[in-house]
Amino acid sequence: MTSASSASGIAVVTGAAGGMGGHIARRLHADGHRVLLADIAVDAARDIATELSPDGSTARAITLDVGHKADFEAALEECRSIWGAPTIMVNNAARTQAADLMTLAEDEFTEVLNTNVNSIFFGCQVFGGAMAERGYGRIVNMASLAGQNGGTATGAHYATSKGAILTVTKIFARELAGSGVTVNAIAPGPHDLPVVKATVPPDRLDAVIAGIPVGRLGSPSFIADMVGLLTKDDAYFVTGACWDVNGGLYVR
């Protein structure tokens, strides 16, 4: 096993066509990494990739359905064929839905769990394994305040899935630590993103903001900055951690 640095690394960001994913992809690209924007909505991901790199030399879009291990394996091979072995993996893709707890249907629960938990587990397993073979890697899993406090504006299936992400992060952090691969989570509270405004009805959003101790929604560009920090070479001493960004809604 040989050690490899992330300088001018190869980053894969899942759910890169969405609001938070787009911010993260742009930040990693600005840090000098080549970025694969992976999303089931590949056309939207391609728009961002073209914005970042018109000739496709440093940013490209690929199709990835994060609910299935085979899709991660295919994405890994595509990454290798385009640029080589990945050094950074950001598991950002998720389904955010509100639902009534006591009437939540089985298929709704399963669909959200399959997307949100499978994406983290198999992203860490497939890409983490490839990184471990080379002796270097940085994995960041996007968790949520909902997985820590049980959720407020989101559904029980979403909160359940985000709680599982914290455990998966610890499992893979322990497994991969000796191979030069760190695995960490970020748990945002409500941020200024289209998905928040789509999930929380307009008549409730003001009340949600009023309930945040700092009195405003979070900045997604700051989350991207945190991803940039956790994926640096010298972030080797941070693994298995969850960084909270919630405006004071959950203090520990």
In our burial notation (b when 16+ CB lie closer than 10 A, e otherwise), range 184-202 reads bbbbbbbbebeebeebbee
Is residue 120 within 8 Å of residue 113, measured between CB atoms? no
Closest CA to 22 of 45, 40, 42: 45
> What local confidence, expressed as pLDDT, does residue 7 receive?
56
Mean pLDDT of the 98-119 span: 87
Nearest-5° angle of CA 85, CA 120, CA 89? Answer: 30
Is residue 242 within 8 Å of residue 185, measured between CB atoms? yes
Is residue 146 within 8 Å of residue 158, measured between CB atoms? yes
pLDDT by residue (tens digit) across 29-56? 999 999 999 999 999 999 999 999 999 9
pLDDT by residue (tens digit) across 160-169? 999 999 999 9
Name the active-site residue from 136, 158, 236, 250. Answer: 158
Question: What are residue 187's DSSP bridge partners?
Answer: 244
CATH superfamily of 10-245: NAD(P)-binding Rossmann-like Domain (3.40.50.720)
pLDDT tops 70 at residue 218: yes
Domain ranges of the chain: 10-245
DSSP E strands, 32-133: 34-39, 59-63, 88-91
Least confident of 42-51, 58-67, 102-111, 211-220: 102-111
How confident is residue 215, by pLDDT bands cut at 50, 70 and 90? very high
CA–CA dist 224, 24 (Å, integer): 5
> What local confidence, expressed as pLDDT, does residue 206 receive?
87
CA–CA dist 231, 42 (Å, integer): 24
The mean pLDDT of the chain is 92
Mean pLDDT of the 184-194 span: 93
pLDDT tops 90 at residue 18: no
Mean pLDDT of the 227-244 span: 98
Residue of higher predicted confidence among 252 and 124: 124
> What local confidence, expressed as pLDDT, does residue 49 receive?
98
Residue type, 102: M
158 is catalytic: yes
pLDDT tops 80 at residue 73: yes
pLDDT tops 70 at residue 241: yes
Mean pLDDT of the 228-251 span: 97
The residues, ordered by sequence, that sit 6+ positions from 119 with a Cβ below 8 Å of its Cβ are 14, 66, 67, 91, 93, 94
pLDDT tops 90 at residue 67: yes
Cα atoms in the 13 Å half-sphere on the side-chain side of 213 = 8
> What local confidence, expressed as pLDDT, does residue 5 receive?
56
Residue of higher predicted confidence among 182 and 252: 182
pTM of the shown model: 0.94
How confident is residue 151, by pLDDT bands cut at 50, 70 and 90? confident
